[in-house]
Amino acid sequence: MSSDSDWPPIPPMQSGLRGRCPRCGQGHLFNGFLKMRKECEVCGLDYSFADPADGPAFFVICFACVPSVFLGVWLEVQYSAPLWIHLLVTGPFMLLTCIPPLRPLKGWLVSSQFFYKAEEGKVVRRNTEPPVATTQ
């Protein structure tokens, strides 16, 4: 086990999109398609800090699912395509634009959390009482 200062910083785009450890850039981030490993097998970084939540799915919905729906609507309006055309064209297009980006996006978000040292937000309450004037 080593500290973060022993490793040069790696940009999230470089390590995350490849599914590599955000600290050393050599170990694997995933154990399977989207399941994260517990720690890096090279540098021992514990991945428990990582919580990309629904971020990858949100980006895929915004940038991949919407164009897929537009393709289906366009096919229907322009050509009155039968159902089998939608199954052969729109279905594979949707699968190819929605599933493959999930892993690189999740890796990028996890690497960004490590690179920018993101953590859960905390509410800091300030003293709201006005300062007391002292007279001499």
Reported confidence tier of residue 13, pLDDT bands at 50, 70, 90: very high
At residue 22, what are phi and psi to the nearest 5 degrees? -70, -15
Q: What is the pLDDT of residue 108?
A: 95
Parent domain of 89: 4-115
**Position 120 confidence tier, pLDDT thresholds 50, 70, 90:** confident
Is residue 131 domain-resident? no
Banded model confidence at residue 2, pLDDT cuts 50, 70, 90: low
Total count of domains within the chain? 1
For residue 76, what are the contacts with CB-CB under 8 A and spacing of at least 6?
86
Which run of H or E residues covers position 119?
Answer: none
Tell me, yes or no, whether 132 lies in a domain: no
In a domain, 121, yes or no: no
Mean pLDDT of 1-10: 76
Residue 65 lies in a domain: yes
Q: Residue 46 forms beta bridges with which residues?
A: 39
Closest CA to 105 of 63, 57, 47, 66: 57
